[in-house]
Amino acid sequence: MQMIDAETVHRLLPYKMLIKELKEMHKKKIPEGDIVYTKDPSGADNMFVTMPGWLSGKLIVVKMVGVFPSNRDRDPPIGSVLGAVTAFDSKTGRPILVADGEAMTYRKTAAISGLGTALLAPPGPEELLIVGAGGLSSHVTMAHIAARPSISRIQVWNRTKHRAETLAAKLCGQGLEAKATTDLDTAVTEADIISCVTMSRVPLVKGALLKPGAHLDLVGSYLPDMRETDDDAMGRGSIYTCCDRGRDEVGELTLPMDSGALSFDDILGDAFELVQGRVSGRVSDQEITVYKNIGGAHQDVFTTSILKTVAGL
């Protein structure tokens, strides 16, 4: 059984390649999968997540991660999503690899958002807004740039200003034009692509401010009480999701449904249908598109399968 550390995961899965390979895998049927959330019995805002998935004839993959939001406030800070991804031969059950769970989560989540941008974002976008400055945010940034290389300017907003400044400085250090902003509303009006990577329980992005042609990528909300944008965005935008599973479990979709601003019939399709040509996607440069990255075990199965191949296992 091969152990693959975080540095190796990031080296073997560059976003341009990963997005391309994930697109190919979306031409197939979605793998079987499940997700189990176990809450911290102490009452703290922590969670342990177990996600088994099965790609018929190839791999069984189980991701096991702890979600500990307060980790970023430790001294020194550590990642808030830590764990491991394991892969087994689907014919024999033989263990094949164990990979760093944080690195795999960053790579697959960012690449799935990058895939959404490749499928739905306007042609030739220049301005990218990143809402949230946690560990995943830099990866999401690079995935969007891999999907749309025309991006030349990046703004970063975070509730805590110094974290936005830290991320912007990191991106500048990679040769990108990036700056922190404290004016989220103005940044929304300027952005061609907006990617929200937070654990917010209140809407941050105001749909009324989205400019014609904008693409809104919603990553962070994964629980029923979480959301990163408001009802106006759902009313103005053409809505897509990464898959057809879990739509009734994320607040980003269920809360506007509760208010009557959205219905299941308003969701026009998912990444599988877009890749397979069963839905058309963006039809004009002026259309606003909204893409909810729900997550799911299938993403871990796909990404681990790609990792296995490029690692030569």
Six token digits for residue 22: 């994930």
Residues 258-270 have a mean pLDDT of: 95
Q: At what angle do helices 137-147 and 101-120 cross, to 10 degrees?
A: 40
pLDDT above 90 for 299: yes
Least confident piece of the model among 13-17, 50-54, 66-70: 66-70
Among 121, 168, 130, smallest CA distance to 148 is for 121
pLDDT of residue 226: 93
Among 228, 253, 304, smallest CA distance to 51 is for 304
Give the Å distances, CA to CA, from 148 to 37, 117, 155, 284. 34, 7, 16, 17
Model confidence pLDDT, tens digit, residues 120-171: 999 999 999 999 999 999 999 999 999 999 999 999 999 999 999 999 999 9
pLDDT of residue 296: 87
d(CA 255, CA 238): 17
Number of H helices, E strands in the chain: 10, 15
Q: How confident is the model at residue 76 (pLDDT cuts 50, 70, 90)?
A: confident
Q: How confident is the model at residue 33 (pLDDT cuts 50, 70, 90)?
A: confident
Model confidence pLDDT, tens digit, residues 209-260: 999 999 999 998 888 999 999 999 999 999 999 999 889 989 999 999 999 9
pLDDT more than 70, % of the chain: 100
Q: What is the DSSP string of 197-265?
A: ----SS--B-GGGPPTT-EEEE-S--STT--SB-HHHHHHSEEEESSSSSTTT-HHHHHHHHHTS--GG
Please, what is the average pLDDT of the chain?
94
pLDDT above 90 for 37: no
| Helix/strand/coil for 121 | coil
Residues 10-27 have a mean pLDDT of: 97
Residues in the chain: 313
Model confidence pLDDT, tens digit, residues 165-197: 999 999 999 999 999 999 999 999 999 999 999
* 253 contacts 293 by C-beta, under 8 angstroms: no
Q: What is the DSSP string of 259-290?
A: HTS--GGGEEEEHHHHHTTSS----STT--EE
Q: Tokens 């960012």 identify what position?
A: 110
Q: How confident is the model at residue 300 (pLDDT cuts 50, 70, 90)?
A: very high
pLDDT of residue 261: 93
Which stretches within 13-136 are classed as H helix? 15-25, 101-120
pLDDT of residue 31: 87
